[in-house]
Every structure is written in C-alpha cells, then in structure tokens.
Amino acid sequence: MVLVIAEQRDGVLNNASWEALVAAQQMGRPVRVAVAGGDPGAVAAELAAADVESVLAVGHPELESYTPDGFVAAFAAVVADAAPDLVFLAHTYQTREFAPRLAARLGRSLVADCVGTRPRDGRLAFVRPMFQGKFVADVAPTGPAPHFVSFQIGAFRPDALKRGASPAPVREFAVTLEPGAIRQSAEAPFQEAKQAVDLTQAERIVAVGRGIKGQEHLSLVESLATALGAEVAASRPICDSGWLPMDRQIGSSGQTVAPKLYLALGISGAIQHLVGMKGSRTIVAVNKDAEAPIFEVADYGIVGDLFDVVPAIIAALDA
Amino acid sequence: MKIAVCVKQVVTREWPLRVDEARTWVQDRDASFEMNEPDAYALEEALRLKEGHGGEVVVCSAGPPRAAQVVREALARGADRAIRVEGDGLAAADASMVAGALAAAIRDEGFDLVLTGLQSDDQGFAQTGVVLAELLGIPHATIIMEVQAADGRLRVKRELEGGWFQWVSMPTPALLTIQSGINQLRYATLKGIMAAKRKEVRVVEAAADLAPGQEILEIRVPEKTKQTRMIDGSPADAAAELVKALREEARAI
Ligand SMILES: Cc1cc2nc3c(=O)[nH]c(=O)nc-3n(C[C@H](O)[C@H](O)[C@H](O)COP(=O)(O)OP(=O)(O)OC[C@H]3O[C@@H](n4cnc5c(N)ncnc54)[C@H](O)[C@@H]3O)c2cc1C
Ligand SMILES: Nc1ncnc2c1ncn2[C@@H]1O[C@H](COP(=O)(O)O)[C@@H](O)[C@H]1O
C-alpha cells in the first residue's frame, strides 16, 4: 500500500498534494491518504473524491498550526498503524522540514525531490536531480519498508488524477501528543511589504545570474534591457549578494513570471529558478557551459561568454 | 553560546563534471573544491551570534581527507576550532550516514546551537541537518532567514514558498538550517589565515556502524524535453541570427 501525506493550510489543500496522489496511483497498489490539522474533516472529504482506498483525517488541536515536532509525532503514529510499503509526499517546504525527521524516527531515509519512478531489475528506483540539475540519478531505497519518497512540484500532472466512482471512506485517526512534545511555537505566516517592482506585468525580461561575475558589470545587462524595452531580473545569488534588490528575484522564493520574452544570461537553470520562468513564451539562454540545464527549457540557445555575446546582441538590435 | 556549524566540501560550481566509469558518481579526483554555499552563510551567522552573545564557534565537517580544505577556510574566516570526521565513504554518502557520522562526533560537546546549510550543491538532499536534529534529540527549524537569540530561546524567521515567511520560537539546544542570503558574507583576511594555523582540529574516524538508507544505481545527463535551437557562430553572427529569429520567428521583439 502507498500512504500519501497530503498538506493543507487553513483548510486549503496544497495543489502539489494531488500530484503526489497521481504518483501513488501510478504505482498500481492500493492508495491511502492522510491529512493532518486542527479539524481536517473538510479537506479529508475533498481528498475522498480521488480513487483511493480510504482517507485518514488526523485531527488534534495541537496540529492546527504546523510544527515539525507535532507533525513528526502524529505521522509516526499514522505510518506505524498503516504499515505501508511506500510513503509519498510532495516536496514542499513543509515536507522538507518534517519528512526527513519522520523517516529518521522510524529508522528509514527519504528519497527526496524525485521527478519520476523507474523500476530497475526488479528494484524500485526513483529519479532525482543531482548537482543542481546537471545530472539525474536513479536512486533505490535500501532496507525494509516503508520507504519514504518526495516528488518535485510539477513532476506529475494533477489532471491525471483518477477519481473514484463514489467518495472514498473517511476515517478519523486519533493521535495522542505528550505534553511538551511540541517544542516549536509558530506565529502566523506573513508577506514582506508589497514588492516595489511587479515583474509579472513585464512583456520582456532580461535576467542575469552569477555568470555576470561582479556588480560592476550589471550596466551591460541594463543596456541590453533598455535596447529591448525589457525589465532587469536576476537569479537568487545576485540578490543575496545585494547586487540587485530582492524584488527582482525570479524563482520559487521570488516572483513567478511568464513574459513574451525571457533572456537568461549566465544562469545555470536550477529547478528553483526554472519554476519561476519556464512558462515564458520565448526563452533565450546565453551560457558558456553547453550542458547547463537552462538550455533544457530554452527555445534559443547561444553557448558563449556573455561578455562577448551581450554587446553583440545590443549591436545587432541597433543595426 | 556554544555553536556548531556543519560545512560540506563540494566540487566548485564551475568545474566541468563528467559521470565516472561505474556511472554511480562523478569524476572528481582532479576537481577543485569549495565550501557548500549555504554553509558559508551558516558560518557567517554563527560568527555574528558569537559576536553578539559570546561563546564559541566550532566548524564540523564529514568527508574524505581533502575536506580539510574547507575546515581551514572556516577557521580562517573566524571559527574557533574544528571537528573533522574522516571517512572515504563519506564523500558520496547519503544524508542518514552523514548525519550519523556527525552526530557521533558532536553528541558529547553539548552545543547550544547547531547550524547547517539548507541543502548541498552536489547531492541536494536537504536533509542532513534535519536528521542530525533527530539523532541529537533537539528541536529544529529549516530555511531560516533571521535568528534572534535571548534567554535560552530562539526566535527565527522561516522562509515559506512564494514570498511568505513565518516566525517560529523554540528553546535551545536547537538546530537550524540556514538559507543563502541571510547575511552578507565576510571573507578570510591574511591575519585570519595565519591565525587558523594554530587552531585546534580534532580528527575522528567515522563510526563503523553507519548504514545507508538509499543507493545510487546510475547517474546520467537528463534527457532533453524541449526542442532548443542552438545558434552557433561568432558572437556577432550568433547575435544577428538570434535577433532575426526573435523578430521574424518568435515575434518577441
Ligand atoms: C529553497 C531554495 C529556494 C531557492 N529559491 C531560488 C529562487 O527563487 N531563484 C533562484 O534563482 N534561485 C533560487 N535558489 C537557488 C538555486 O538553487 C540556484 O543556486 C541558483 O538559481 C543559481 O543561480 P545562478 O544560475 O545565477 O548561479 P550558478 O548556478 O552559479 O550558475 C552560473 C552560470 O553562469 C554560467 N557562466 C559563468 N560565466 C559565464 C560567462 N562569462 N558567460 C556566460 N555564462 C557564464 C555558468 O556556466 C553557470 O551555468 C533556491 C534554492 C533553494 C534551496
Ligand atoms: N559531509 C558533510 N559534512 C558536514 N556537513 C554536511 C555534510 N553533508 C551535509 N552537511 C550539512 O547539511 C546541509 C544539507 O546537506 P544535504 O542534506 O546534503 O542537502 C549542508 O548544507 C551542510 O551544512
């Protein structure tokens, strides 16, 4: 059996949970889903629409707001009770925080951030990126079940979900939490002050990465942006270094954009960057490494030194 | 505050990596190495906490003998001493093994705070710190962008998806995984490099009973999923061709 751990906040399911469910349905084994919260009944009922054996509503007042201690304790009890072969989760920030500890508590390990499954010689293996997306690896969990696997967001299509003919049974799963078991206390999530620049409205974006080497070279990128009538954006390290303000950052912890034209200059194409821009209509990549993962999402690619290529593009636009 | 910082030695970003003959790891024998990027931010955060609260910063690294390089670098940047867990098998080990090796080496030190990076640039498990917290039996929080410490408690700012954040409090001892960009890095000075030579480095053998929880069967270059038109030629020719394509084909400018 595959146990899927779904994620919700304030009664709203995380969409990525449907993707983990699709991954589970494709294993050809019975699927059970569990979701935790203060009173997760409504979310559990929503999950019951999927073609699954049953849904567990793991409710407890202490689980109303997520904490790693609370979720590890609760799901350790759920997994021990359900005794699944596999435990699937979406690789969200919340999963990254509690799932490795949950697996470790049960003496197991988590195969994280997988993009697919791949049986090999009778062994179950999962495909996961390594070296910032330059390679992928087939990784097999070792030791006895259950094996824990998390899937990268977007690796499975939520619309491939099989729905049940009638709603699956929902069961309440009672957890006991020792007093003092939860050491973290969480405040309400918040957003920083409104972004000064709204890149989502830009028609064209020239984005720069660490290939630019130094802040003093940014004027080159700005000249190209001006010539194209584009906004300047960046990968995270450029903003981390303070070379450009944070509100110019594209990616999972920055803005998500889909302009008509996205030029990526000296950006390697790590998944956290790609999720913020791969919906762009036309993507151009300039990178001196012919194997940089950015070329996998690019429509046009130039392998070369951006310090040669960018001035040449500016000149060609002028001609 | 007695602070441990876990740093991993990884292949330099710019190194042209190839898969090795067994197809289960990369050819890294002649590679150049550096400190995993978020770990540099974790070290900087530890140094700042020590400056504010007093105490000690101990850098911890697990790996083959070559990992001594990142330990020296951390000492040159200001860490007070080091614990290096040595084992050839640790270079490509999974997070359970590395966390097990680190836990055995630091358990008796009684650190108030353990900092790690949020993720390694090579294996990218995003797990070693979290598993280490479980093995040490201390609370943890991940992807941290600010740390406030007072009276045996921490209040930390956690990054969530899509520009959201959250403050979380917990007692010490605790473990935090640090996100890149939490602070501005300082670099080693000549004085620091000289001082590092006299700092204590405790080298311990990796525990013998570490068991992996997962195995790499094969590493390969990912299959291409999109038709990319690669434009070659001199920079001038390629640029002219690109501009033409963007105007006439893609109609993007
Ligand atoms: C939880 C989490 C959230 C994250 N959120 C984000 C996010 O929102 N946005 C984001 O961007 N990243 C994010 N990251 C970081 C991400 O994983 C990568 O580390 C980052 O995107 C790499 O930036 P880069 O491509 O600029 O740098 P590198 O990976 O260092 O790539 C530099 C590239 O420039 C090329 N290059 C070098 N010199 C030249 C030259 N002269 N000419 C042409 N090319 C050259 C190199 O070949 C290389 O491909 C996040 C990471 C984590 C773990
Ligand atoms: N071999 C190691 N030695 C010391 N610290 C490590 C090692 N491997 C991982 N870490 C720490 O754990 C963090 C997460 O690594 P990973 O789980 O590999 O993504 C890194 O940023 C380091 O701080």
Percent of chain A residues past pLDDT 70, beyond the cut: 99
Helix (H, G, I), strand (E, B) or coil at A40: coil
Q: What is the pLDDT of residue B161?
A: 87
- How are beta strands A54-59 and A86-90 bridged, if at all? unpaired
Reduced DSSP (H G I as helix, E B as strand, rest coil) percent helix, strand, coil of chain B, to 5:
30, 30, 35
Q: What is the pLDDT of residue B162?
A: 80
Q: Which residues of A touch B152 (CB under 8 A)?
A: none
Helix (H, G, I), strand (E, B) or coil at A95: helix
pLDDT average, residue stretch A280-308: 97
pTM of the model: 0.96
CB < 8 Å & 24+ apart, contacts of B231-235: B231/A300, B231/A301, B231/A302, B232/A302, B232/A303, B235/A304, B235/A305, B235/A308, B235/A309, B235/A311, B235/A312
pLDDT over threshold 70, residue A194: no
- How are beta strands A135-141 and B214-220 bridged, if at all? antiparallel
Rounded Cα distance between A100 and A239, Å, is 29
Instruction: Decide if domain A2-174 falls under CATH 3.40.50.620.
Output: yes
Q: Which residues of A touch B140 (CB under 8 A)?
A: 68, 97, 101
Number of helices followed by number of strands (H, E) in chain A? 8, 19
Q: Which residues of A touch B174 (CB under 8 A)?
A: 183
Q: What is the pLDDT of residue B224?
A: 80
Rounded Cα distance between A78 and B221, Å, is 38
List, in sequence order, every beta strand (DSSP E) within chain A.
2-6, 8-9, 12-13, 31-37, 54-59, 86-90, 110-114, 116-117, 126-130, 135-141, 147-151, 170-174, 185-186, 190-191, 204-208, 231-234, 261-265, 282-287, 300-303
pLDDT over threshold 80, residue A195: no
pLDDT digits (tens, 9 = 90+) for B45-85: 999 999 999 999 999 999 999 999 999 999 999 999 999 99
A202 Cβ below 6 A of ligand 1: no
Q: What is the pLDDT of residue B152?
A: 94
Residues in chain A, how many? 319
Give residues (CB < 6 A) around ligand 2: B 6-8, 36, 38-39, 60-63, 90, 95, 98, 102, 116-117, 119-120, 123-129
pLDDT over threshold 80, residue A315: yes
**A 36-55 residues inside an 8 A Cβ radius of B:** none
Paired tokens of A169:
């049974």
Task: List CB contacts of A49: < 8 A, sequence separation 6 or more.
Answer: A163, A164, A167, A168
Number of helices followed by number of strands (H, E) in chain B? 6, 13
A118 closest CA partner among A110, A109, A130, A127: A127
CATH superfamily of A199-318: TPP-binding domain (3.40.50.1220)
pLDDT digits (tens, 9 = 90+) for A15-66: 999 999 999 999 999 999 999 999 999 999 999 999 999 999 999 999 999 9
Q: Where do we find the tokens 């996205």?
A: A262
Report how far ligand 1's centroid is from the alpha carbon of A113 (Å). Answer: 18
Cα dihedral value B171, B176, B181, B183, nearest 10? 50
Among all residues of chain A, which has the CA nearest to that of B25? A137
Please tell me what DSSP assigns to residue A250. B
Ligand 1 pocket test, pick from B37, B130, B179 with the greatest ligand atom count within 8 Å of Cβ, gives B179
Report how far ligand 2's centroid is from the alpha carbon of A144 (Å). Answer: 25
ipTM of the complex: 0.96
For every residue of A114-135, DSSP letters joined together read: E-EE--BTTB--EEEEEGGGTE
A290 closest CA partner among B231, B122, B34: B231
Domain ranges of chain A: 2-174, 199-318
Q: Which residue from B127, B215, B228 is facing A142, i.e. has the nearest CB?
A: B215
pLDDT over threshold 90, residue A10: yes
Among all residues of chain B, which has the CA nearest to that of A141? B214
Rounded Cα distance between A104 and A68, Å, is 13
Ligand 1 pocket test, pick from A131, A199, A278, A288 with the greatest ligand atom count within 8 Å of Cβ, gives A288
pLDDT over threshold 70, residue A166: yes
The answer to whether A254 contacts chain B (CB < 8 Å) is yes
Question: pLDDT by residue for chain B (253 residues), tens digit each?
Answer: 999 999 999 999 989 999 999 999 999 999 999 999 999 999 999 999 999 999 999 999 999 999 999 999 999 999 999 999 999 899 999 999 999 999 999 999 999 999 999 999 999 999 999 999 999 999 999 999 999 999 999 999 999 988 899 999 999 999 999 999 999 998 899 999 999 999 999 999 998 889 999 999 999 999 887 889 999 999 999 999 999 999 999 999 9
**A 115-134 residues inside an 8 A Cβ radius of B:** 120, 123, 125, 129-134
Q: What is the mean pLDDT of chain A?
A: 96
**A 258-297 residues inside an 8 A Cβ radius of B:** 260-261, 268, 281-282, 284, 289, 291, 293, 295-297
Q: Which residues of A touch B143 (CB under 8 A)?
A: 93, 96-97
Q: Which residue from A112, A284, A296 is facing B224, i.e. has the nearest CB?
A: A296
Rounded Cα distance between A273 and A256, Å, is 9
Q: What is the pLDDT of residue B208?
A: 85
Domains A2-174 and A199-318 share a fold: yes
Which residues on adjacent β-strands are paired with residue B158? B144, B166
